[in-house]
C-alpha cells in the first residue's frame, strides 16, 4: 500500500486546499480513496494487507501531512506548478506523481476486466477507480485542473465505497499476471 498511499495523498492535499480544510470533504475523500486502495490491493496481492491498525494509522497521517499531501496542496493553491516536476527542493522526490501513472497504466491493461455492477459489463479495473482516473488526468495528462478532484467526489455516478470494498472482498480478484508473475 506504500505506493498507493502516496498516490491518494496528493488528492487529499488537493481536497484540503480546495475546501479550506473542510473536515466533511476530507472524510468523503478518505472513504472513497481507501475503498479504491482496498480494491487495487485485492487485484495486486494474493493475500492483501488489511487496511487496519498501524497500516491505517500510517495511511491516515500520510494523507493528512505527508510530502505528497503537501505537494497536492501546493499544486491546488497554485504555489507549485506541474511543470516544476516531481523533485522539489527541500522536500525531495514526490513519489505519488509517477505512481499515479504506473497504477493507472497497470489497471488499464486491455487483458484485464472486472464486472461493473451497474452497467453489468466487463470494464478495465481503472474504471472502478474514479479518483485515480481524475488524478491521472490532472497530474499526467494535464487535461484537468486540480478542482476536478472535487467534481469526482460530487459525481452522482460514483460507486459507493462500500460496494467497491464488497466487490474486492467477495470475489477472487488477484491477478498475478499484473505484476509479471506466472
Q: Where are the domains of the chain?
A: 1-175
C-alpha–C-alpha distance, residues 85 and 93, integer Å: 9
5 is catalytic: yes
- CA 127, CA 11: separation in Å to the nearest integer? 17
Cβ atoms of 174 and 43 within 8 Å: the answer is yes
More confident residue, 10 or 181: 10
Q: How confident is the model at residue 79 (pLDDT cuts 50, 70, 90)?
A: very high
Taking residues 152-176, what's their average pLDDT? 66
Highest mean pLDDT (candidates 22-36, 112-126, 135-149, 160-174): 135-149
Q: Looking at the predicted structure, is the pLDDT value of residue 6 above 90?
A: yes
Taking the C-alpha atoms of 39, 41, 46 and 47 in order, what is their torsion angle to the nearest 10 degrees? -100
CA distances from 95 to 69, 86, 87, 98 (A): 11, 7, 9, 6
- Please tell me which residue, 125 or 166, carries the higher pLDDT value: 125
Q: Does the pLDDT at position 101 exceed 90?
A: yes
pLDDT tens digits, one per residue of 112-144:
777 676 777 778 889 889 999 999 999 999 999
d(CA 44, CA 66): 24
Interval 18-39 mean pLDDT: 92
Closest CA to 3 of 102, 70, 73: 102
**pLDDT given at position 84:** 92
- CATH of the domain spanning 1-175: 1.10.1040.10
Single out the catalytic residue among 5, 50, 77, 137. 5
Kindly state the percentage of the chain with pLDDT values over 90.
Answer: 52
| Residue pair 17/77 in contact by the 8 Å Cβ criterion | yes
State residue 167's pLDDT score.
66
Predicted TM-score (pTM) of the model is 0.88
pLDDT tens digits, 83-93: 999 999 999 99
Q: How far apart are CA 133 and CA 40, in angstroms?
A: 13
pLDDT on residue 169: 64
Residue 182 scores a pLDDT above 50:
no
Taking the alpha carbons of 117, 122, 125, 128 in that order, is the dihedral positive or negative? Answer: negative
Longest dimension (CA), the chain: 48
Coil, helix or strand at residue 143: coil
**Which residues have C-beta within 8 Å of that of residue 90, sequence separation ≥ 6?**
none
At 175 the pLDDT is: 61
C-beta of residue 75 within 8 angstroms of C-beta of residue 97: no
Amino acid at each position: 500500500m506504500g505506493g498507493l498511499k502516496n498516490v491518494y495523498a496528493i488528492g487529499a492535499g488537493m481536497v484540503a486546499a480546495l475546501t479550506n480544510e473542510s473536515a466533511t470533504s476530507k472524510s468523503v475523500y478518505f472513504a472513497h480513496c481507501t475503498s479504491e486502495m482496498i480494491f487495487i490491493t485485492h487485484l495486486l496481492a494474493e493475500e492483501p494487507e488489511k487496511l487496519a491498525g498501524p497500516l491505517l494509522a500510517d495511511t491516515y497521517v500520510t494523507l493528512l501531512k505527508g510530502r505528497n499531501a503537501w505537494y497536492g496542496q501546493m499544486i491546488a493553491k497554485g504555489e507549485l506548478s506541474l511543470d516544476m516536476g516531481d523533485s522539489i527542493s527541500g522536500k525531495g522526490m514526490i513519489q505519488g506523481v509517477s505512481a499515479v501513472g504506473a497504477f493507472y497504466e497497470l489497471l488499464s491493461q486491455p487483458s484485464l476486466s472486472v464486472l461493473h455492477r451497474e452497467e453489468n459489463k466487463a470494464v478495465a479495473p481503472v474504471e472502478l477507480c474514479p479518483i485515480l482516473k481524475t488524478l491521472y488526468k490532472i497530474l499526467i495528462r494535464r487535461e484537468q485542473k486540480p478542482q476536478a478532484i472535487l467534481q469526482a467526489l460530487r459525481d452522482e455516478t460514483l460507486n459507493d465505497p462500500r460496494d467497491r470494498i464488497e466487490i474486492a472482498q467477495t470475489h477472487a480478484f488477484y491477478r498475478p499476471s499484473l505484476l509479471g508473475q506466472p
